[in-house]
């Protein structure tokens, strides 16, 4: 079976406390939709076979706000009760849900407002065609998000420090990495501060 036929799950990470934002950023509105709602909908519109949404901080409130999106059978929502420990704990929570039945996982950060189905599909297509075991979007000559990993790295994802993402794997095994040029106009802004949010709102108005 060619890699293009192998299944890929998107892991949407949305468990954080939003400490620098001063508000629950998953529930901020961008273009009339909640930030986490946009992330889930774009993942479900893409060619991903399954989507796992990882919640933590205010999980119940966010789940209630997502009532309509939760009806899609490709979506599974899980709760990381150790979310205060960081991104690594959320990645492990998600991996446990899919590792037995998908060959690849794409890590999607819910606070990167411009990750849409077009960006996801471009990375997926380029990575699968490359034969490499790690893939990432490339923005202005540098590695960015989202990223994608083959099954061979699942054990390493389980072993991540709780406060770390997968960056160390990409740094240590650079020869395994396929960099896929971001679609024209892609902005990899992540929303950490009120200033980032104001910028994202302005960009949305200008679209």
Whether the pLDDT of residue 205 is over 60: the answer is: no
Overall domain count for the chain: 1
Residue pair 97/69 in contact (Cβ under 8 Å)? The answer is: no
**pLDDT tens digit string along 84-132?**
888 899 999 999 999 999 999 999 999 999 999 999 999 999 999 999 9
On the question of pLDDT at 207 being above 60, the answer is no
Please give the DSSP secondary-structure letter assigned to residue 182.
P
pLDDT tens for residues 18-71?
767 767 888 888 888 899 999 999 999 999 999 999 999 989 999 888 877 678
Token pair of 182, please?
A: 């971001």
**Residue of 128, 122, 163 whose CA lies nearest to 145:** 122
Say which residues have a Cβ less than 8 Å from residue 23's Cβ, sequence separation at least 6.
Answer: none
Structural domain boundaries, residue 72: 3-206
Q: How many helices (H) and strands (E) does the chain have?
A: 7, 9
14: pLDDT strictly greater than 70: yes
Q: What is the pLDDT of residue 93?
A: 95
Q: Tell me the C-alpha distance between 60 and 79, whole Å.
A: 9
| CATH code of the domain covering residue 119 | 3.90.550.10
Model confidence at 194, in pLDDT bands (50, 70, 90)?
A: confident
Q: Is 179 left (phi over 0), alpha (psi -120 to 50) or beta?
A: beta
Q: Is the pLDDT of residue 206 over 60?
A: no
């Amino acid at each position: 079976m060619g890699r293009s036929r192998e299944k890929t799950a998107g892991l949407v990470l949305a468990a954080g406390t939003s400490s620098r934002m001063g508000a629950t950023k998953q529930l901020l509105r961008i273009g009339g939709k909640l930030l986490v709602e946009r992330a889930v909908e774009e993942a479900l519109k893409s060619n991903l076979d399954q989507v796992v949404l990882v919640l933590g901080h205010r999980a119940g409130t966010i789940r209630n706000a997502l009532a309509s999106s939760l009806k899609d059978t490709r979506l599974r929502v899980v709760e990381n009760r150790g979310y205060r420990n960081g991104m690594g704990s959320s990645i492990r929570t998600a991996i446990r849900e899919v590792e037995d039945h998908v060959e690849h996982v794409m890590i999607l950060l819910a606070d990167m407002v411009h990750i849409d189905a077009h960006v996801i599909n471009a990375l997926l297509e380029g990575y699968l065609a490359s034969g490499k075991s790690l893939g990432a979007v490339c923005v202005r000559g540098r590695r960015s998000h989202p990223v994608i990993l083959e099954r061979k790295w699942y054990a390493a994802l389980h072993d991540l420090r709780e406060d770390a993402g997968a960056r160390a794997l990409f740094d240590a095994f650079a020869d395994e990495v396929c960099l896929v040029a971001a679609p024209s106009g892609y902005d990899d802004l992540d929303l950490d501060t009120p200033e980032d949010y104001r910028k994202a709102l302005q960009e949305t108005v200008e679209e």
